Amino acid sequence: MSEAKRPEIKGFRRFLQLAAVFVLGMVAGSIVYNVIYQTSYNMLWIQNKDLQIQLHQAEEDLRTLKKYNNRSTVIKEIKVRVEERDPPLDSLAVKEVTKQLHDELEVLRGRNIFDIDSDAKMARTLLNRKIYVVRDKEYSIQIKTMLVSEGVLQVWVDMRPYIRL
């Protein structure tokens, strides 16, 4: 009588090890691919947001320039500048707060530059220490300087993360 042949366990074990390594490689590769994809998508999204803000501001400036092109003593353009901080703030948060502040200062557009004194005091009082929420984080601003030159109102602000006490 001949003995029943048993399947070769060593060969099967080796096949399972190779298959497990292959599956682990696929999982690791998909994780690396997903991280690279998410990073590039996030950069693209931030760049798109920045371009949307720039487009919005350029459209507003163009509308105002068309409306007031013959009057040299009115505010035609508003530029908001956030002072640099160390460590730097999230660039998207800075852009979003800048856009919101720009929209709030829009009431000064078209005003006579010689009457800006009372309007600037009112804007400074209303907007000083104001809290803005961007992506579930709070930031407070403080208006440092407001300057009108050649129809351009420039506003420098200090932006800090807001800490609730």
| Tens digit of each residue's pLDDT (9 = 90 or more) over 101-153 | 888 888 788 787 777 777 667 777 777 778 888 888 888 888 888 888 888 88
In the chain, where are the structural domains located?
9-70, 74-161
| Tens digit of each residue's pLDDT (9 = 90 or more) over 31-80 | 999 999 999 999 998 899 889 888 988 888 788 777 777 777 788 888 88
Model's pTM, two decimal places? 0.64
**pLDDT reading at 100 higher than 90:** no
Name the token pair of 96.
Answer: 């979003």
Residue 99 has a CB neighbour count (10 Å cut-off) of 20
- Alpha-carbon torsion, ordered 112, 113, 115, 117, to 10 deg: 150
- How many Å apart are CA 73 and CA 149, to the nearest integer? 10
Residues 97 and 82: beta-carbon distance below 8 Å? yes
Q: How many residues does the chain have?
A: 165
Query: Amino acid identity of 102?
Result: H
Name the token pair of 44.
Answer: 């693209």
Residue 33 has a CB neighbour count (10 Å cut-off) of 10
User: Which helix (H) or strand (E) element contains residue 20?
Assistant: helix 9-67
- How many Å apart are CA 157 and CA 89, to the nearest integer? 13
